[in-house]
A and B are shown apart, each in its own frame.
Chain A
């Protein structure tokens, strides 16, 4: 029974861990917590839709305590060409100083380096795209994009290749230096996108509510990637269905254990009835014992599994053997199980409730014992 609870909680932790990992991968690499764009920008990614009143927005951001960091970007649609192949991409021109405060892109680089200033403007592409273009580090590529109704074509050198478990990112997003973008286009001091990281996930909505910018859209990660949120909600439901099944099995376990106990102790219960213990007391006795069983088993299982999760949270579970499959779901191969305190409490309450419910049947069963039969049973 303890094992059952521990397994259930561990499973829950693992599921949360997977979910969290996927969410974190997306948030850290490209989504961030909150993004600000011009209202039109997300529909039509045209370079004329830069953020209005950028200075006022920035001032607001500096004044909001929940904002941990922010970074400005230019974002355009473009075409990348290698001698072998071409591909439509989104190009993000980032401030190499501030962007690492809102994104972990730097840590995702598997070959080459970050966007250091070189003779040729450097570009950072995903592994997937690199394979498609059949280019490696230090190879040249041509990038074509439109800026204010002008075609801009430039030669770039692939400075680095990154790998990300965020869904679709590797194949479609390339990064360049903000300064290079400004010198190529003649734009200056503007931005298409501001990426913001909050102090914590819980304070995200404080930020979105605090910013006032009429012509801009302030969107949290859940607005930006509703599918992530949806998967989160679905995961929650799935988890509870599976937890329900586990708890059901658990309650069968409790009922079974208690029926065995009653069977084993038929003589003792029969003796108690014979010597004058009334039915109400027998009922309460069995009820109490069953509740105790779950009240003791429950916490032990919970403590056991939280310790285990606590440990695994540090070290992670390396699933790289099955990791290839997980990667396609946007999940890294090392899972860090995670559990919220609220869930632990909820499970605890559920176990106790199940314990009480499962106690009733054995207790009624005990009531039906006939003392004469019970004292004869050996």
Chain B
């Protein structure tokens, strides 16, 4: 059954007199347990789509529902709460708070959710272990490599036990070996935790790891295929 549904999503950016149609009628469903890549050339609307699904941005037209909530109806404060409890985010960079250690960065999300301390400790440790950073828990972001930082970001995204994780070009700043390693970790967590992962990329090796590939061009879905 589908968790995320978008219906005829459009997004028009107006810059002075010029209108840019970043999304032009995107309708798609995402089901439980998916591991899906959104691909397409630069400017095709990947970021815009992920931002709208994640409730960071409002569409110009169409709907997004997550579970039984139409998030386009929520106000700003409701959206912030909704994001905190339902969605994990991994960005291309600047994911972590520089002054906090890896472990504190992961716990920080649960702190905002007001989870009990024991649960926070336990979950932060097991997630950092799952992403292979059990020895790096007390390091700060600048003491870690780019790949390690992105792994902390993945652990952080999962810490809140979200329904799904949105990752906008999470591997764009990584070399391909590190990128594939990150994808493998994500795939494992997708299986073990049952969390949906939706990530955008234009790296073919990363695309190969996805089970479903949705291709955008000029704000429209031009292909949607399952692969093994």
Answer yes or no: do A and B interact: yes
> Which A residues lie at the B interface, using CB under 8 A?
267-268, 271-279, 281, 370-372, 375-376
Q: How far is the CA of A207 from the CA of B97 in the complex (A)?
A: 64
A271 touching B80 in the complex, CB below 8 Å, given contacts A276-B112, A372-B51: no
Chain A residues near B183 (CB, 8 Å)? none
Chain B residues near A370 (CB, 8 Å)? 57
**Interface residues as binary, B76-94 with A (CB distance below 8 Å gives 1, 0 otherwise):** 1100110111001101011
Chain B residues near A275 (CB, 8 Å)? 83-84, 88-89, 109, 112, 156
In contact, B160 and A274 (Cβ under 8 angstroms) = no
In contact, B80 and A279 (Cβ under 8 angstroms) = yes
> 3 tightest CB-CB pairs across the interface, nearest first?
A276-B84, A372-B57, A267-B94
A279 touching B77 in the complex, CB below 8 Å, given contacts A267-B93, A271-B95: yes
Q: How far is the CA of A271 from the CA of B98 in the complex (A)?
A: 12
Q: How far is the CA of A108 from the CA of B212 in the complex (A)?
A: 97
Q: Using CB atoms, name the residue of chain A closest to B94.
A: A267
In contact, B89 and A274 (Cβ under 8 angstroms) = yes
Q: How far is the CA of A267 from the CA of B92 in the complex (A)?
A: 11
Query: Quick one: which of B136-174 are within 8 Å of A by CB?
Result: 156, 160, 168
In contact, A372 and B56 (Cβ under 8 angstroms) = yes
Q: How far is the CB of A312 from chain B (nearest CB, A)?
A: 38
Q: How far is the CA of A272 from the CA of B112 in the complex (A)?
A: 11
Q: Using CB atoms, name the residue of chain B closest to A280.
A: B77
| 25 cross-chain CB contacts under 8 A | A267-B93, A268-B94, A271-B95, A272-B97, A273-B80, A274-B56, A274-B83, A274-B89, A275-B83, A275-B88, A276-B85, A276-B109, A276-B112, A276-B160, A278-B77, A278-B80, A279-B76, A279-B77, A281-B112, A370-B57, A371-B56, A371-B57, A372-B56, A375-B51, A375-B91
Q: How far is the CB of A254 from chain B (nearest CB, A)?
A: 20
Q: How far is the CB of B115 from chain A (nearest CB, A)?
A: 13
Q: How far is the CA of A348 from the CA of B93 in the complex (A)?
A: 40
**A276-B83, A278-B81, A375-B168 known, 14 other contacts, Cβ within 8 Å:** A268-B94, A271-B91, A275-B83, A275-B89, A275-B109, A276-B109, A276-B113, A281-B112, A371-B56, A372-B57, A375-B51, A375-B56, A375-B91, A376-B47
Question: B54 on the interface (CB 8 Å rule)?
Answer: yes
Q: How far is the CA of A276 from the CA of B88 in the complex (A)?
A: 9
In contact, A276 and B80 (Cβ under 8 angstroms) = yes
Q: How far is the CA of A375 from the CA of B56 in the complex (A)?
A: 9
Chain A residues near B95 (CB, 8 Å)? 271
In contact, A276 and B91 (Cβ under 8 angstroms) = no
Q: Tally inter-chain residue pairs, CB-CB below 8 A.
A: 53
Q: How far is the CA of A281 from the CA of B114 in the complex (A)?
A: 14
Chain B residues near A267 (CB, 8 Å)? 91, 93-94
Q: Using CB atoms, name the residue of chain B closest to A267.
A: B94
In contact, B57 and A271 (Cβ under 8 angstroms) = no
Q: Using CB atoms, name the residue of chain B closest to A275.
A: B89
**Interface residues as binary, B11-53 with A (CB distance below 8 Å gives 1, 0 otherwise):** 0000000000000000000000000000000000001000100
In contact, B47 and A274 (Cβ under 8 angstroms) = no
Chain A residues near B47 (CB, 8 Å)? 376
Q: How far is the CA of A274 from the CA of B112 in the complex (A)?
A: 13
Q: How far is the CB of B158 from chain A (nearest CB, A)?
A: 12
In contact, B81 and A276 (Cβ under 8 angstroms) = yes
Q: How far is the CA of A281 from the CA of B97 in the complex (A)?
A: 15
Chain B residues near A274 (CB, 8 Å)? 54, 56, 83, 89, 91
Chain A residues near B112 (CB, 8 Å)? 275-277, 281
Chain A residues near B85 (CB, 8 Å)? 276
Q: How far is the CB of A167 from chain B (nearest CB, A)?
A: 58
Q: How far is the CA of A268 from the CA of B100 in the complex (A)?
A: 13
Q: How far is the CA of A375 from the CA of B54 in the complex (A)?
A: 12
Chain B residues near A376 (CB, 8 Å)? 47
Chain B residues near A268 (CB, 8 Å)? 94, 97-98
Chain B residues near A272 (CB, 8 Å)? 97
Q: How far is the CA of A376 from the CA of B81 in the complex (A)?
A: 21
Most buried by B among A267, A268, A274, A370: A274
Q: Using CB atoms, name the residue of chain A closest to B47.
A: A376
Q: How far is the CA of A343 from the CA of B141 in the complex (A)?
A: 43
Q: How far is the CA of A279 from the CA of B75 in the complex (A)?
A: 13
Q: How far is the CA of A51 from the CA of B148 in the complex (A)?
A: 92
Chain B residues near A277 (CB, 8 Å)? 80, 112
Q: How far is the CB of B108 from chain A (nearest CB, A)?
A: 9
Chain A residues near B81 (CB, 8 Å)? 276, 278
Q: How far is the CB of A239 from chain B (nearest CB, A)?
A: 39
Most buried by B among A273, A281, A376: A376
Q: How far is the CB of B195 from chain A (nearest CB, A)?
A: 15
In contact, B76 and A271 (Cβ under 8 angstroms) = no
Chain A residues near B98 (CB, 8 Å)? 268
Q: Using CB atoms, name the residue of chain B closest to A375.
A: B91
Q: How far is the CB of B200 from chain A (nearest CB, A)?
A: 13
Q: How far is the CB of B99 from chain A (nearest CB, A)?
A: 10
Chain A residues near B56 (CB, 8 Å)? 274, 371-372, 375
Q: How far is the CA of A154 from the CA of B55 in the complex (A)?
A: 104
Chain A residues near B113 (CB, 8 Å)? 276
Chain A residues near B91 (CB, 8 Å)? 267, 271, 274, 375
Q: How far is the CB of B6 from chain A (nearest CB, A)?
A: 16
Q: Using CB atoms, name the residue of chain A closest to B95.
A: A271
Chain A residues near B83 (CB, 8 Å)? 274-276
Q: How far is the CA of A372 from the CA of B160 in the complex (A)?
A: 21
Chain A residues near B97 (CB, 8 Å)? 268, 272
